[in-house]
């Protein structure tokens, strides 16, 4: 019998990024990215961030731009504290904070408002564009931070649905591990498919984590205007996203 094993970001985040000083300059890349990586895969990789929890663990997330708001989308179980809690968001050798403004324990989706901007021009958010289809066989791309590793890029495809329907969750054939929770999955056009929140576990005859069977909350579970409404009511600044 199979059960869902939620990835609760139990691994400690090592070597947290250094703060950006006044003399900040992006460090030279220490990795080589193949030209075979598509432009969408590059953009997804550039938008991926690490979400550091107050307990010292981490999850993953993605910068997403909705009108004039830059937000971080991740899993609710990664950011499981009260609304208004600040979380550390790191990327390369920079770090910022983001405020939790929305969380759904049912869908395991959370939204944080990024405070400030990254100085590295290569760190860019994805646009708020969501897919309307979740067909089996649909290709996906995502980037995240499994365990103690640096940023990694993955691809795969939707292979099935949860026991109820695709309205509950999607099952994706790709790779996932502790620390990948909260990664945003995109289709090949850069549209958001959903949020990675778990991996599958086989308990008989012995415990076995199936790291290639990934559970994803469809992005259709969130209404972005409703999600930011409490924030909009509480801010004095006039954002286009709130009008």
Q: 78, 140, 146, 91: which is closest to 120 by C-alpha?
A: 91
Backbone angles phi, psi at 240, to 5 degrees: -60, -35
Q: Write down the number of H helices and E strands in the chain.
A: 2, 14
Q: Tell me: do 48 and 119 sit in the same domain.
A: yes
Q: Is residue 18 part of a domain?
A: no
The rounded average pLDDT for each run of 10 residues, N- to C-terminus, in the chain (243 residues) is 35 34 54 83 97 92 98 97 96 95 94 96 96 94 94 96 72 94 97 94 81 93 95 92 92
Q: Tell me: do 88 and 195 sit in the same domain.
A: no
Cα–Cα distance list, 187 to 12, 107, 154, 194 (Å): 30, 20, 12, 10
pTM value is 0.85
Provide the pairing of β-strand 58-66 with 69-74: antiparallel
Domain coverage including residue 122: 37-127+223-242
Q: Tell me: do 154 and 212 sit in the same domain.
A: yes
For the chain, how many structural domains are there in total? 2
pLDDT of residue 209: 81
Residue with tokens 């049912």: 106
The CA R_g of the chain, rounded to the nearest whole Å, is 17
What is the rounded CA–CA span in Å between residue 1 and residue 98?
Answer: 39
Residues 6+ apart with CB under 8 A from 23: none
Q: Is residue 24 part of a domain?
A: no
Q: 163, 221, 222, 219: which is closest to 191 by C-alpha?
A: 219
Q: Is residue 31 part of a domain?
A: no
pLDDT of residue 24: 52
SS3 call for 62: strand
Q: What is the CATH number of the domain that holds 234?
A: 2.40.10.10
pLDDT of residue 33: 78
pLDDT of residue 30: 63
b/e per residue 197-208 (b: at least 16 CB within 10 A): bbbbbeeeeeee
């Amino acid at each position: 019998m199979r059960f869902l094993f939620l990835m609760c970001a139990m691994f400690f985040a090592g070597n947290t990024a250094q703060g950006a000083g006044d003399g900040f300059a992006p460090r030279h890349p220490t990795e080589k990215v193949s030209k075979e990586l598509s432009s969408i895969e590059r953009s997804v990789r550039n938008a991926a961030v690490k979400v550091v929890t107050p307990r010292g663990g981490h999850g993953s997330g993605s910068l997403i731009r909705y009108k004039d708001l830059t937000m971080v989308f991740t899993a609710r179980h990664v950011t499981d504290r009260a609304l208004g809690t600040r979380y550390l968001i790191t990327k390369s050798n920079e770090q910022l904070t983001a405020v939790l403004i929305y969380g759904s324990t049912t869908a395991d989706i959370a939204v944080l408002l990024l405070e400030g901007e990254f100085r590295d021009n290569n760190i860019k958010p994805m646009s708020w564009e969501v897919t309307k289809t979740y067909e089996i066989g649909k290709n996906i791309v995502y980037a995240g931070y499994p365990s103690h590793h640096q940023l990694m890029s993955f691809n795969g495809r939707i292979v099935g649905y949860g026991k109820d329907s695709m309205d509950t969750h999607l099952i994706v054939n790709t790779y996932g591990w502790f620390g990948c929770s909260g990664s945003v999955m995109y289709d090949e056009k850069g549209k958001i498919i959903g949020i990675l929140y778990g991996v599958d576990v086989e308990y008989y005859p012995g415990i076995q984590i199936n790291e290639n069977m990934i559970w994803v909350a469809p992005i259709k579970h969130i209404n972005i205007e409703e999600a930011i409404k409490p924030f909009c009511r509480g801010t004095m600044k006039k954002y286009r996203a709130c009008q």
